[in-house]
Amino acid sequence: MNAKPKAPRIPRPQREVEIKLLADPADLPRIAALSLVRERLVAQAEPVRQHTSYYDTPGLALAKRGLALRLRRQGMKREQSVKTMSSGEGGDGAGIAVRREWRWDVAGDGLDTSLLRLGDLSELIPPDALDCLSPLFTTDVQRTILMLRAGDEGRVELALDLGQALVLSPDGQPSARHTISEVELELRQGEVADLFRLAADIHARVPLRLSTRSKADLGLALLTGAQPRAHAVRPLGITPITTVMEAFRHIGRNGLAHLLDNQPAFTEAMGDPAALREMASAVRRLITAYSLFADLIHTDQGDALRDQLKVLGRKLEKARDWQKLAVALTDLPQDARKGAVGPVSSARARALNKAMRLLASPAWTGWQLEFAAWLEAGDWAQQPHGCPFGTTLSEIAGDMLRQRLDALRAVGLPTDVSTAIKAHKRLRKLRYDLDFCRAVWPAERVDPLQRAVDALRVPLKQVADDMTAAGLLDKIEQPVAADALRQRAAAALKPLPALWTAFLAADVAAVAA
């Protein structure tokens, strides 16, 4: 009597936690030979060649659902897998890719679509997509894996990948390709901070660049020709029961993710203005978070990281100022901007070039890695007894925001440009803090203040931007355009009395018990 064939195994999704770094191809052997790597080595596998085909429908139904379906060939072994493509949980990945993955060993070189009907996948993958799947792009990679000790009990898998991503035309010839030269650090045991510490140690010896783009992301970009684009800040993973300690971590991760999300669009799209705006905002949000939690997180290491971010961030802010000036000139009358367009364009190009060099510098990546490690397990989290890290943010958010409100009210009604600039700086901090804390209160409690803040911010920002632009024009000796912008800044003061009154009337509602 014939035995019944075994039913396909319903897979249990695995959780993958890793960071990806880009390296020069010539540096990959150097990394494997580093003494810090050899000293931590637990096991090393022989280099293997991995040929991976990525499947989807012609309309990219899986990618649109955040899924990557692949079939990997490694020697005689065949593995089919599905991965989620989102990086991070709760909106703040901070360079960490946290993904679910389903894996099966399969026979043959074809896709087994019956496996995609099992378990959770039956709900994630639309049934009508199963008959339309085909390989859209491939990766061909030589991979070297080293298992390393991290900390006292941690284990990190270090993978060095060198190869290429390929998109094939109908006749089987490559129509697009991109070099892959990556370092992946996957947490097998231990803490997330172990990944960043190890990456920082390697980066101190061999330059790396932190990236959030997976091989699936890279292949899709090759396939579609899509350029990296700017991304608004992700939603914060804060709830009314989030503790103070975890709230600061969420905000820090969110800020770092905001930077990383926009780096490709700025560096690869020749200074995308929207990406630069988002990165400059990310720097300000991080610095504001430091000041909001200053009494709780103050340590020498944390203060040094904050000061370093301020120095690095000035190049982004300066490039952003020149970009805003270039736009402001287009709104001025012809006779006011005459003669200024060329010099502004040249100065803007120089500022953008400095910002791009910053993002490619070891100092920038070094700060990102050191900050991420400190955020996850730095000295700030080991504060003396009595520090309210274990209390919920909702218990102290009101007092924290009240300090910001008092500081802004102390400025008084802005009746001149200098006072308006001072008020704008304090209002911007208040606006960021509202973003950080608003999740701990019902929307109806926060919305009146937020509306008043946003309305007040419009003319204050106009004044601050125009006065900054006028100062830049002074530096390149363009007095006519500078005077025109100063006049526009003065005119922007007119609606402030009514908006200031509305702000004063709304502020208590959000933070009162």
- Where in the chain are all domains bearing CATH 2.40.320.10? 8-226
Instruction: Confirm whether pTM is higher than 0.85.
Output: yes
Q: Are 296 and 384 in contact (CB under 8 A)?
A: no
Amino acid (one-letter) located at 400: M
Q: Are 179 and 25 in contact (CB under 8 A)?
A: yes
> How many Cα neighbours within 13 Å face the side chain of 60?
12
Give the pLDDT score at 1: 46
Among residues 481, 135, 195, 126, the alpha carbon closest in space to that of 332 is found at 481
238-391 homologous superfamily = CHAD domain (1.40.20.10)
Give the pLDDT score at 109: 87
- Where in the chain are all domains bearing CATH 1.40.20.10? 238-391
Q: Are 149 and 190 in contact (CB under 8 A)?
A: no
Q: What is the mean pLDDT of each run of 10 residues along the chain (513 residues)?
A: 52 78 97 95 90 95 94 94 68 70 90 88 89 94 95 91 91 85 95 94 97 92 92 91 92 95 89 94 97 89 96 97 97 93 96 96 97 92 70 89 92 96 97 90 86 96 98 97 98 97 78 55
Helix (H, G, I), strand (E, B) or coil at 364: helix
**Per-residue H/E/C for 108-165:** CCCCCHHHHHCCCHHHHCCHHHHHHCEEEEEEEEEEEEEEEEECCCEEEEEEEEEEEE
Q: Does domain 8-226 have CATH number 2.40.320.10?
A: yes
Among residues 55, 73, 68, 120, the alpha carbon closest in space to that of 97 is found at 68
CA dist 425 and 56 (Å) reads: 48
CA dist 175 and 332 (Å) reads: 46
Alpha-carbon separation of residue 10 from 114, 187, 242 (angstroms): 11, 25, 35
Helix (H) or strand (E) holding 286: helix 273-292
Give the pLDDT score at 384: 62
CA dist 373 and 245 (Å) reads: 15
261: its two tokens: 């999300």
